[in-house]
A and B are shown apart, each in its own frame.
Chain A
Amino acid sequence: MEAQRITRIEGSALPMRGNDIDTDRIMPARYLRSVTFEGLEQHLFEDERKGSAAGDKAVHTHPFDDPRYRGATILIVNGNFGCGSSREHAPQGLHRSGVRAVVGESFSEIFFGNSLMIGLPCITAPPERIRELMDLVEKQPNARLRIDLQAGTCESNGFACSIALPPHARQALVSGTWDTTGLLLERYEEVDAVAARLPYVGGF
């Protein structure tokens, strides 16, 4: 299956502070009660945004409701983002809301893999760079970030840092092979050969 080549992501950013943001927070379980992923973007962080969208003064404005970040395509996060449940609904919701890259200190492996499978790069940078990036975006919400996956750089308005992506993820994204099913179905005789040597498949 032909997937899009993803080499550069450019756009404004949205900072979402905090370590260990779990997928239950990103996408509450009740929105998994559907046989499609459609409309998930409407429920991102829903439980912690109550009252925030309506401009309730008593409620801290959630970054996803902050008008300064409207239209942002790059999400900036701290450590272990996307931990917990394996629900792909979390990256699906982010992607459907227009997020095209997540830049953070570290990611849960399952979240990272699920995001890669839908062409959403999860890119890492050292904690001090993330702090600078968050500060920059909070001061200048309109700042445009330019991420180059091939060169491994992220830059904006005088800010520049190198970013990291595991080689396989970079390769999959820049070559447009992140939709893996086609790859896995090639040379299927080799799969059959592996199955045949497994005693629990062939019989003990």
Chain B
Amino acid sequence: MGKTLLQKVWDLHTVRTLPTGQTQLFIGLHLVHEVTSPQAFDVLRARGWKVARPDRTFATVDHIVPTRERTRPFVDILAEGMIASLERNCRDFGVRLAGLDDDRQGIVHVIGPELGLTQPAMTIACGDSHTSTHGAFGAVAFGIGTSQVRDVLASQCLAMEPMKVRRIRVSGALPPGVYAKDVILTIINRLGVGGGVGYAYEYAGDTLERMSMDERMTICNMSIEGGARVGYINPDDTTFAYIRGRPFAPPGDSFEAARRWWRSMASDPDARYDDDVVIRAEELTPVVTWGVNPGQSVSVTGRVPVDGDSGMDRQALADARGYMGFTGGETIAGMRVDVAFIGSCTNSRLSDLREAARIVRGRHVAPHVKALVVPGSASVKNAAEREGLDDVFRAAGFEWRGAGCSMCLGMNPDKLEGRQVCASSSNRNFKGRQGSPTGRTLLMSPAMVAAAAIAGEVTDVRDFVQEKVGGGG
């Protein structure tokens, strides 16, 4: 009987079984940011501990950084305090830091892969639930809380429980205007926001195999929105080609040895899965969320659910519709938007920005819409500027910002106001998520956000895509 990648990685990283019955798991890469680490460093200081493996630890600033005015000290003294705290902690404990002015700075889940820190068959932990992103490389990567950040800092290990594996096979060609974001939103809608609890999701199938690393990261990123703490894709030539030559990639001849090992760690053809799900890519359409969790979504051609629609918890339906201002039965297309946000660890990479720019080129944002693009990293920003994408966005009426998490969670000055409706390429439409206690979020692909910004309302991006390139792409 073969093994899954998860089992192989788990076995290889197991130190021992703890008296509690949990597995002591070695963590190959610990990514650190300013928001979930200060209390952990304080415990290390109080207990006289060191960071066990500074060579396996890397920090950056992303959650609270302003994306417009970045001179220090920040106007927000709380944000300034947090950044200063991380800088001091990294200095005191010898942790590498890509700080605010570093050209490697950016969202932790964007820079890990960019720098080649993220590699197949690693265990990766970070005090952020979207750590599942790194699973796109065939790493076993998961989010942790601050007490577990403390454990990893002090010991480079975690006390963990094993996971089951659900394989989700996506097959067929994605129609034009349908993206990786639509695939993962569809999966979450079908399996539910709690459907993945206890599971790691292994994404497979020819659709996934044809996807770029950027697209695979979008898929794995939102595993946690389906309740799965881990989501991964077996490493292949696309993965290896992405990693080769990056700053922390295995150098020179060692790359070939690494490649052979990585390939050997992929799931065996006869591996056993605890569950299997199949999704047909040809049937997919652009997806928009209408509710207050990422599973509450419909096709852009669909309507907000009405009472009695199958599979809906009546109370949850009423609550979500009430918050969003729907009565039920409205078409989601035509919903007026006030803000358009392209960014976040889900969709802020170069290919996302290229696709959105393709939609907005030669057009203009609707007069009532505030639109902004927040690249995922300084490196993405620079690359986009070299291609002139910033000019395309500015000419269309978008603001072009510095790298960070920004309006995905509104911990910096980028927030919704009042009951504003935001077309967002981010990952969560929870109540109050984007910084206003009554703000409303509609999740969709970056191309759909671009189209919504132009139209001033939710609209089907397939109309734009066909118009521009005659049905290609």
Residues of A within 8 A of B (CB): 1, 17-20, 22, 24-25, 28-30, 32-37, 46-48, 50, 79-80, 83-88, 91, 106-110, 113-114, 117-118, 166-169, 171-172, 175, 177, 179-181, 183-185, 187-188, 190-191, 194-195, 197-201, 203-204
Contact = CB atoms under 8 A, between A and B. Distances in A.
A88 B147 contact: yes
Contact of B161 (A29, A168, A191): A168
Given A85-B409, A107-B197, 6 more contacts: A28-B432, A29-B433, A32-B63, A181-B151, A184-B158, A195-B53
Which of B14, B144, B159 has the most C-beta atoms of chain A within 10 angstroms of its own C-beta?
A: B159
Given A1-B47, A29-B411, A184 B157 contact: yes
Interface stretch (B35-43, B102-110, B209-217): B35-43
B134 interface: no
A88 B13 contact: no
B36 A166 contact: no
B129 A85 contact: yes
Interface stretch (B17-25, B275-283, B357-365): B17-25
B360 to A, nearest CB: 29
A171 B21 CA distance: 8
Contacts of A91: 145
B155 A22 contact: no
B430 A24 contact: yes
Interface string B122-137: 1000011100000000
10 contacts: A22-B428, A22-B430, A32-B36, A33-B76, A34-B81, A50-B437, A80-B197, A86-B129, A181-B47, A183-B19
Contact of A86 (B26, B143, B154): B143
Contacts of B78: 33-34
A178 B409 CA distance: 31
A83 B193 contact: yes
Nearest to B14: A194
A204 B257 contact: yes
Nearest to A114: B145
Interface stretch (B312-320, B341-349, B377-385): B312-320
Given A183-B159, A191-B26, A86 B144 contact: yes
A195 B147 contact: no
B293 interface: yes
A113 B148 contact: yes
Which of B47, B161, B258, B319 has the most C-beta atoms of chain A within 10 angstroms of its own C-beta?
A: B161
Contacts of B47: 1, 181
A184 B129 contact: no
A181 to B, nearest CB: 5
B243 to A, nearest CB: 11
Contacts of B155: 181, 184-185, 188, 191
A109 B198 contact: yes
Interface string B1-45: 000000000001111101111101010100000011011001100
Contacts of A36: 38-39, 42
B227 interface: yes
A19 B316 contact: yes
Given A117-B145, A190-B16, A194-B26, A29 B81 contact: no
Nearest to B89: A35
A201 B410 contact: no
A80 B227 contact: yes
A47 B419 CA distance: 13
B254 A204 contact: yes
A18 B39 contact: no
B316 A184 contact: no
Contact of B147 (A24, A28, A114, A188): A114
A28 B437 contact: yes
Given A1-B47, A20-B194, A204-B250, A48 B431 contact: yes
Given A24-B431, A24-B432, A198-B28, A184 B154 contact: yes
B193 A20 contact: yes
Nearest to B81: A35
Contact of A80 (B15, B194, B254): B194
Contacts of B76: 33
A86 B257 contact: no
B261 interface: yes
A19 B64 contact: no
Contact of B21 (A37, A86, A114, A167): A167
